[in-house]
């Protein structure tokens, strides 16, 4: 009886829900120079999380920057991301007031080579 009661309590503490939002679609993560060539390197993704109690944490720009940086680090010669999708997942544990915000970025890593394009 004690085992089943503790399993029920554990399952109640572990239940929660996650909501996913598309935060934005972005053509590029960094500025590219007007006379530069941009070369795609492959698909990458990165994420950053923040947890708080009682109220959901704010999606700050530092969370977005950390996710973008982690995605760029996956490709050694990448300077920027192009054609990116930004997602925000909010997870809440139902019994305890614990909230986690996860910011995810998916896109194509790219390398920029400045000064090689002929300007007209």
Residue 68: the pLDDT is 93
Determine the Cα–Cα distance for residues 47 and 69; give it in Å rounded to an integer: 9
pLDDT above 90: percentage of residues in the chain:
36
pLDDT digits (tens, 9 = 90+) for 47-99: 999 988 887 777 778 899 999 999 999 998 999 999 999 999 888 887 778 88
Q: What is the pTM of this model?
A: 0.78
pLDDT band at 119 (very low <50, low <70, confident <90, very high): low
Terminal C-alpha separation, the chain: 81
């Amino acid at each position: 009886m004690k085992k089943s009661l503790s399993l029920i309590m554990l399952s109640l503490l572990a239940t929660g829900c996650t909501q996913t939002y598309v935060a934005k679609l972005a053509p590029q993560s960094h500025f590219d120079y007007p006379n530069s060539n941009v070369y795609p390197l492959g698909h990458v993704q990165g994420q950053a999380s923040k947890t708080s109690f009682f109220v959901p944490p704010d999606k700050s720009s530092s969370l977005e920057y950390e996710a973008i940086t982690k995605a760029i680090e996956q490709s050694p010669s990448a300077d920027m991301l192009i054609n990116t999708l930004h997602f925000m997942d909010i997870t809440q544990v139902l019994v305890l007031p614990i909230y986690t915000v996860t910011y995810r970025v998916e896109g194509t890593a790219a390398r920029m080579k400045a000064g090689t394009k002929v300007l007209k």
